[in-house]
Chains A and B, each alone.
Chain A
Amino acid sequence: MSFLPFAIAAWLFLIGLYGIVSSRNLIRAILSLTVVQSATYVVLLGVGYVHGGRAPIFADIPAGTPAVDPVVQVLVLTDIVIGATVTAMLLALAVQAHKRFGSLDPQDLRALRD
């Protein structure tokens, strides 16, 4: 049971990759990419959790109360911003791709073949 968060992270990573590989629509691939990323949130927060720990906010709890690790939370915050911005840029690219190729199916994007 104590492995559950990490198993679910692995699941999210792989199912997200599957979504990108199998996608016939770029927007679906982009949304799958956000699922891949959510695996990193779950791993990071799972790592820093402490049984019975409180949130690392000492506004209404006395100093010295056991708290969960604050560092991983900061890393996840950065991670979320990165994810949102890269997704925004990819969506913009998808809009342009549809304009130029007339399709969002990666199979129809044929500007670059060797």
Chain B
Amino acid sequence: MTVLQAAALAAVALTGGGVVLATDPVRQTLVLGVFGIALTMLFFVFQAPDVALSEIVVSTVGLPVMILLALRKVRRQERDRKEEGE
């Protein structure tokens, strides 16, 4: 195993744990993006460029857009509910 591969694996392990352990959802989304980039690097050093390309488009554009919009909706709902309650 090359140093690059070991480093990419370590990055995946750490950021993967980070996604789970991050408390704030927005921060978690950001960590998820970093995790996606770590996976992409791993796929590159595993000689899988097709997979790496897929992973990068999904994890930097495809999913974060949806997650952030969903979070925004949730937050807005919470605010509306609070205003209604007052």
Contact = CB atoms under 8 A, between A and B. Distances in A.
Given A1-B1, A27-B67, A94-B70, A16 B16 contact: yes
Contacts of B46: 45-46, 49, 68
Max chain A CB contacts within 10 Å: which of B28, B47, B63, B77?
B47
> Main secondary structure on chain A at its contact with chain B?
helix
Contact of B13 (A2, A12, A34): A12
Contacts of A18: 20
Interface in A1-42: 1-2, 4-5, 8, 11-12, 15-16, 18-19, 25, 27-28, 31-32, 34-35, 38, 41-42
Which range contains the number of B residues in contact with the other chain?
35 or more
Interface in A72-114: 73, 76-77, 80-81, 83-84, 87-88, 91-92, 94-95, 98-99, 102, 104
> Main secondary structure on chain B at its contact with chain A?
helix
Interface of B: 1, 6, 9, 12-13, 16-17, 19-21, 25, 28-29, 32, 35, 39, 42-43, 46-51, 54-55, 58, 62-63, 66-67, 70-71, 73-74, 77, 81
